[in-house]
Structure 1
Amino acid sequence: MTRDWLDGARGALAAERILDAAGRVFLARGVHEADVADIAAEAGCSRATVYRYFENRHALKTAYMHREARRVAEQVVREAAAYDDPGAQLTETVLGALRIVRETPVLAAWFAPSGGAASAQLAAASQVIESLCAAFLGADDPGEDLPERARWLVRVILSLLTLPGRDEDDERAMLRRFVVPGLFAEDPADVVVGGTVAAADGR
Structure 2
Amino acid sequence: MPDTADRLLDAAMMHVAFDGWSETTFRAAVKDADVNMTVARALFPRGAVDLAVAYHRRGDAEMLKRLEAADLSEMRFRDKVIFAVRTRIEAAEDREAVRRGTTLFSLPVYAADGAKLIWGTADAIWTALGDTSEDFNWYTKRATLSAVYSSTVLYWLGDDSLENEATWAFLDRRIEDVMRIEKAKAGVRDNKLLSALFAGPSRILGRVRPPASARRDDLPGGWTPGA
TM-score (norm 1): 0.67
Q: In structure 2, how many angstroms separate the alpha carbons of the residues matched to 1:100 and 1:68?
A: 6
User: Which residue number in structure 2 is paired with residue 70 of structure 1?
Assistant: 61
- CA spacing shift, 1:115–1:168, aligned 2, 3 Å: closer
Amino acid at match of 2:11: A
User: Which residue number in structure 2 is paired with residue 85 of structure 1?
Assistant: 76
Answer yes or no: is 1:53 the counterpart of 2:49.
no
Preserved contact between residue 76 and residue 97 of structure 1 (Cα < 8 Å): no
Q: In structure 1, how many angstroms separate the alpha carbons of the residues matched to 2:122 and 2:131?
A: 17
SS in 2 for 1:96: helix
Amino acid at match of 1:171: F
- CA spacing shift, 1:140–1:150, aligned 2, 3 Å: closer
Answer yes or no: is 1:109 the counterpart of 2:96.
yes
User: Which residue number in structure 2 is paired with residue 199 of structure 1?
Assistant: none
**Per-residue deviation, 1:63:** 2.1
Q: In structure 2, how many angstroms separate the alpha carbons of the residues matched to 1:34 and 1:179?
A: 41
Q: In structure 2, how many angstroms separate the alpha carbons of the residues matched to 1:169 and 1:61?
A: 25
Preserved contact between residue 122 and residue 146 of structure 2 (Cα < 8 Å): yes
- CA spacing shift, 1:181–1:117, aligned 2, 3 Å: farther
Q: Aligned to 1:146, which of 119, 138, 142? A: 138
Q: In structure 1, how many angstroms separate the alpha carbons of the residues matched to 2:144 and 2:121?
A: 12
**Per-residue deviation, 1:19:** 2.0
Amino acid at match of 2:96: A
Q: In structure 2, how many angstroms separate the alpha carbons of the residues matched to 1:72 and 1:61?
A: 17
User: Which residue number in structure 2 is paired with residue 96 of structure 1?
Assistant: 87
SS in 2 for 1:124: helix
Q: In structure 2, how many angstroms separate the alpha carbons of the residues matched to 1:52 and 1:169?
A: 40
**Per-residue deviation, 1:17:** 1.6
Q: In structure 2, how many angstroms separate the alpha carbons of the residues matched to 1:83 and 1:117?
A: 38
**Per-residue deviation, 1:142:** 2.0
Structure 2 regions of 5+ residues with no counterpart? 189-227
Q: Aligned to 2:104, which of 107, 113, 118? A: 118
- CA spacing shift, 1:160–1:80, aligned 2, 3 Å: farther
Preserved contact between residue 134 and residue 147 of structure 1 (Cα < 8 Å): no
User: Which residue number in structure 1 is paired with residue 185 of structure 2?
Assistant: 187
Describe the superposition over 1:118-171 as per-residue Cα deviations: whole angstroms up to 9, x where unpaired.
34644322264243134135x153241112311321221111111347714522
Aligned length: 173
Preserved contact between residue 91 and residue 180 of structure 1 (Cα < 8 Å): no
**Per-residue deviation, 1:33:** 6.6
**Per-residue deviation, 1:185:** 4.3
Q: In structure 1, how many angstroms separate the alpha carbons of the residues matched to 2:114 and 2:13?
A: 16
Q: In structure 2, how many angstroms separate the alpha carbons of the residues matched to 1:66 and 1:186?
A: 34
SS in 1 for 2:172: helix
Amino acid at match of 1:42: D
TM-score (norm 2): 0.61
Q: In structure 1, how many angstroms separate the alpha carbons of the residues matched to 2:120 and 2:168?
A: 29
Matches within 5 A, 1:30-41: 30-32=20-22, 34-41=24-31
Structure 1 regions of 5+ residues with no counterpart? 1-8, 191-203
Among the aligned pairs, what percent are the same residue? 13
**Per-residue deviation, 1:34:** 4.5
